[in-house]
């Protein structure tokens, strides 16, 4: 579904330019769930935004569904690929009701049977029709994220990009949203590209994952490899051990590393 070769994203020009993504390559098969794991600033979200067509300043070769992407996209592209953002409080337009938010993609792409589509997609994300005319401020964080997922689903895409979809939510709500995403994948066969800092979430959702740091992919491995601790990279080990909880030994070891980068 996705083939990325040597993707590079730079911000700024000349000497002040920052390379956020540095020659990254990976492949995601159709129907697969692939995770990009890394800490803040490692470039994982930048990759997602470049794929979604939100940033036109990239170089490299990207193929989605067999078609090579140009920095500028055609309208049909957006029916193929949809994105869900991290912060459910910022990703819904505060002046639009749920209905208004879901109506926009229908109007943009000139789809028919608007009411039917909205009802179906709201039911799919576990919100009843009673939510249709509410404003975002009348919804909880979890409900908002459901609306954001509904918005991504309404165009019936083949690929869903998920940018830390649960990191702004409480754990109990996170479980509900992750279950919802699992259900959606089971029923539609969507391909997922999930970006997260949380190894546990990625290992729960994905089949394969890539560990990123400083704009590069350090290691690509299957979840099975991760669980069996068959990682080769030292950074992956650090991430893995840190995600198990606090350990005195780890805290003492890492200090030198951070000072060097600061």
Q: Report whether 131 contacts 139 (CB < 8 A).
A: yes
Residue of 49, 117, 146, 208 interacting with another protein (CB under 8 A)? 49
Q: Report whether 23 contacts 7 (CB < 8 A).
A: yes
Site for another protein in 178-217 (CB under 8 A): 178-179, 182, 197, 199-201, 203-204
We find the least distance from the C-beta atom of residue 102 to another protein, in angstroms, to be 11
Q: What angle do CA 121, 47, 178 make, to 5 degrees?
A: 40
Q: Which is nearer to another protein, 28 or 199 (CB)?
A: 199
We find the least distance from the C-beta atom of residue 28 to another protein, in angstroms, to be 18
Site for another protein in 20-39 (CB under 8 A): 39
* Residue 226 CB neighbour total at 10 angstroms: 23
Q: Which is nearer to another protein, 66 or 128 (CB)?
A: 128
Residue of 46, 97, 143, 145 interacting with another protein (CB under 8 A)? 97
Q: Which is nearer to another protein, 70 or 250 (CB)?
A: 250
Site for another protein in 52-71 (CB under 8 A): 52-54
Helix boundaries (H) for 56-193: 75-80, 98-108, 114-124, 141-153, 171-188
Residue of 12, 71, 90, 189 interacting with another protein (CB under 8 A)? 90
Query: Rounded to whole angstroms, what are the CA distances from 171 to 87, 108, 174, 201, 241?
Result: 15, 35, 5, 11, 20
């Amino acid at each position: 579904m996705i083939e990325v070769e040597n993707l590079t994203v730079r911000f700024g020009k000349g000497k002040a330019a920052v390379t956020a993504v540095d020659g990254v390559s990976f492949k995601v098969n159709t129907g697969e769930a692939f995770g990009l794991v890394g800490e803040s600033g490692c470039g994982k979200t930048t990759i997602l935004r470049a794929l979604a067509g939100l940033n036109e300043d990239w170089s490299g070769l990207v193929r989605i569904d067999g078609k090579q992407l140009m920095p500028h996209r055609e309208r049909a592209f957006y029916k193929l690929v949809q994105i869900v953002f991290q912060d459910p409080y910022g990703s819904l337009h505060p002046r639009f009701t749920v209905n208004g938010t879901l109506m926009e993609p229908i109007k943009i792409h000139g789809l028919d049977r608007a009411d039917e589509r909205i009802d179906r997609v709201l039911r799919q994300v576990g919100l009843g029709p009673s939510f249709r005319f509410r404003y975002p401020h009348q919804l909880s964080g979890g409900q908002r994220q459901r609306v954001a997922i509904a918005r991504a689903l309404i165009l019936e895409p083949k690929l869903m990009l998920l940018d830390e979809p649960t990191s702004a939510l409480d754990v109990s709500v996170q479980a509900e949203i992750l279950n919802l995403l699992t259900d959606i994948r089971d029923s539609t066969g969507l391909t997922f590209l999930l970006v997260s800092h949380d190894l546990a979430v990625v290992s729960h959702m994905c089949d394969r994952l890539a560990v990123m740091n400083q704009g590069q992919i350090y290691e690509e491995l299957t979840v099975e490899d991760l669980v069996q601790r068959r990682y080769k990279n030292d950074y992956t080990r650090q991430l893995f051990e840190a995600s198990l909880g606090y350990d005195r030994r780890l805290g003492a070891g890492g200090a030198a590393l951070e000072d060097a980068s600061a």
